[in-house]
Amino acid sequence: MKQEIIISRDLQAELTAAIGRVGPDRLFVLADTTTAELCWPVVSGFPCMAEAQLITIGATDEAKTLDTLAAVWTALGEGGATRHSMLVNLGGGMVTDLGGFAASTFKRGIAFVNIPTTLLAMVDASVGGKTGINFRGLKNEIGVFNEAQTVILDTHFLRTLDRQNLCSGYAEMLKHGLISNEENLLELLRFDIEHLDYEALKALVAKSVSIKERIVTEDPHEHGLRKALNLGHTVGHAFESLAMAENRTVLHGYAVAWGLVCELYLSATRCGFPSERLHQVAQFVRETYGIFTFTCKEYDRLYELMTHDKKNTAGVINFTLLGAVGDIRINQQAGKDDIFEMLDYYREN
């Protein structure tokens, strides 16, 4: 059954219908400490939520662990969950990733609904069926593909976000623009992220989700085209892991934005991506996201982190690159010298 993605107009009616389609014997809601405070009050008064049991976990990516997963399984078990129960994931990407994995594995799988509350989760994590946790210092190392029955995108929740979290999600939208067409990309580069028009942002979110949905429908398990969605992520995940190891955690979208600049440089040198577009995106990223600082002493560590990327085969680092905006080149390989040159470019520009 195809995942239903709803751009919300009436959250209560849409959530009631999503629960009604399953008719669960017990209903659970997973939130982190932030969304339990800011977002749970929005839905807790709905009649369809009257019997729901709230499970609260720690916020931020540090909570995306095996211990937290076990705590969710325990809460489901102690709450009397059966194979006919349902979990509603109310939160950002960490909640939808971990909650989706918990639901996919508890009793060999119970139904779940995602209500993403951050821009990053709306345009990326909650759509497409990737679930999982971090393990041994590596991002999303353990998980399964399993789509939520319904994803409800209510952009009213975006008003609870600070600038950093809005920018974090916007990086994934920028990636969607790069892999679609010039018109989408330029619309995103021109959007005033400092003075938000929420209605205009809602339209951009809908467009961004439709790009991802089209790709995921064609390639649900990432055998081919879906690898386009990894643009910026091979380097971005390495930046993220390095920052985590150095106790200077960065938001996922910021790491992806910096990774986009690096991988567009590789695209320019290896696939002919236009240098004008590279500089335009690099300038936007620098102005919006600042710079990730590191020295040449950390090149070997970053390279080693890239070798752990899940897209790799037999230890060879695979990149998704572009020949032009929308011209996707998957399974592109780069050697150590190319990667060090790319890191030089990033630090010097």
The Cβ-side half-sphere exposure at 94, using a 13 Å CA radius, reads: 23
Q: Is the pLDDT of residue 224 over 90?
A: no
Percent of the chain having pLDDT more than 70?
99
pLDDT value of position 2: 65
* Residue entry with tokens 């977002």: 39
Phi, psi (deg, nearest 5) at residue 93: -60, -35
**Comparing 4-160 with 163-348, is the CATH topology the same?**
no
Amino acid at 13: A
Strands 150-153 and 4-7: parallel
- pLDDT tens for 238-279 read 999 999 899 998 999 999 999 999 999 999 999 999 999 999
Q: Which of 66, 22, 219 is nearest to 130 (CA)?
A: 219
- How does DSSP classify residue 2? P
- pLDDT tens for 70-93 read 999 999 999 999 999 999 999 999
* Residue entry with tokens 């990223």: 285
Domain residue ranges of the chain, discontinuous segments joined by +: 4-160, 163-348
Q: Give the residue-averaged pLDDT of 310-331.
A: 88
Q: Is the pLDDT of residue 1 over 60?
A: no
- pLDDT tens for 129-187 read 899 999 998 888 999 999 999 999 999 999 989 999 999 999 999 999 999 999 999 99
223 band by pLDDT with thresholds 50, 70 and 90: confident
Tokens for 136, please give them.
Answer: 């041994």
The CA distance from 317 to 123, in Å, is 26
Give the homologous superfamily in CATH for domain 163-348: Dehydroquinate synthase-like - alpha domain (1.20.1090.10)
Look at 27-31, 89-93, 95-99, 315-319 and tell me which has the smallest mean pLDDT. 315-319
pLDDT value of position 284: 97
- pLDDT tens for 173-220 read 999 999 999 999 999 999 999 899 999 999 999 999 999 988 988 888
- How does DSSP classify residue 3? P
Fold assignment, 4-160: Rossmann fold (3.40.50)
User: Are the beta carbons of 260 and 228 closer than 8 angstroms?
Assistant: no
List all residues 6 or more positions away from 190 whose beta carbon is below 8 Å from its beta carbon: none
pLDDT value of position 294: 97
Q: Which of 99, 138, 131, 119 is nearest to 176 (CA)?
A: 119
The CA distance from 66 to 72, in Å, is 10
314 band by pLDDT with thresholds 50, 70 and 90: low
pLDDT value of position 197: 92
Tokens for 280, please give them.
Answer: 């335009």
More confident residue, 21 or 311: 21
User: Are the beta carbons of 131 and 143 closer than 8 angstroms?
Assistant: yes
Q: Across the chain, what does the average pLDDT equal?
A: 94
